[in-house]
């Protein structure tokens, strides 16, 4: 799963702004500054301690041991190219600030449930990603700071407003 290039857009915007350019290229596509996420918007989040690559995420009676995607490259790559996930596995995206960027399914070999989570650690919405529609944009209900991706059906029963807990490291 590739996100809508949030981290790359932030970097591209900063580079373009400092160079005074009106347009630039990101992953071979031309972008305009107004399509970029401004690094000054949102609030910072605590990143995982260095070297920690797993987390445990709990929503209600469900829990997952997930890979942590907190660097720009990890968020861009997501789960694309993988053949599947364990039933209680997934990916936990940590963003440096709140964003409203869409996700998409480019390079995915299986469908996903995508749980968008706000700064208040409450579920904003759950969306289904369809691998047969790799360029369809998957939209959050509002600004989010975290995203949980699990295999399709894995987030059944999770609803907007549910409280999310996570801790760094496996269960």
Any domain includes 20: no
pTM above 0.85, yes or no: no
**How much is the pLDDT for 9?**
31
Any domain includes 16: no
Q: Which two tokens stand for residue 154?
A: 């894995």
Given a contact cutoff of 8 angstroms between Cβ atoms, the answer to whether 61 and 166 are in contact is no
CA pair distance 88, 44, nearest whole angstrom: 28
**How much is the pLDDT for 168?**
85
Any domain includes 64: yes
**How much is the pLDDT for 72?**
87
Any domain includes 10: no
Over its length of 171 residues, how does the chain's per-residue pLDDT go in tens digits?
433 333 333 333 232 232 332 222 222 222 222 222 222 223 333 444 455 589 999 999 999 999 999 888 888 889 999 999 998 999 999 999 999 999 999 999 999 999 999 999 999 999 999 999 999 999 999 999 999 999 999 999 999 999 999 998 766
The domain spanning residue 65 has which CATH number? 2.60.120.1140
Q: Residue 90: which domain range?
A: 41-168
**How much is the pLDDT for 113?**
97
Tally of structural domains, the chain: 1
């Amino acid at each position: 799963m590739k996100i809508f290039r949030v981290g790359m857009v932030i970097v591209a915007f900063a580079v373009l702004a400092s160079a005074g350019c009106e347009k630039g290229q990101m992953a071979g596509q031309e972008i305009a500054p107004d399509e970029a996420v401004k690094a000054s918007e949102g609030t910072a989040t605590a990143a995982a301690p260095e070297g920690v690559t797993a987390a445990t995420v709990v929503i209600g009676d469900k829990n997952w041991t997930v890979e942590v995607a907190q660097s720009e490259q990890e968020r861009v790559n997501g789960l694309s190219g993988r053949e599947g996930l364990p039933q209680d596995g997934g990916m936990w995206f940590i963003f440096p600030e709140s964003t409203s960027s869409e996700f998409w399914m480019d390079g995915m070999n299986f469908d996903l449930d995508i749980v968008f989570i706000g700064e208040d650690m409450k579920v904003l919405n759950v969306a289904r990603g369809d691998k047969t529609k790799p360029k369809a944009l998957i939209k959050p209900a509002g600004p989010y700071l975290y995203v949980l991706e699990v295999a399709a059906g894995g987030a059944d029963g999770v609803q907007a407003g549910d409280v999310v807990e996570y801790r760094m490291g496996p269960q």
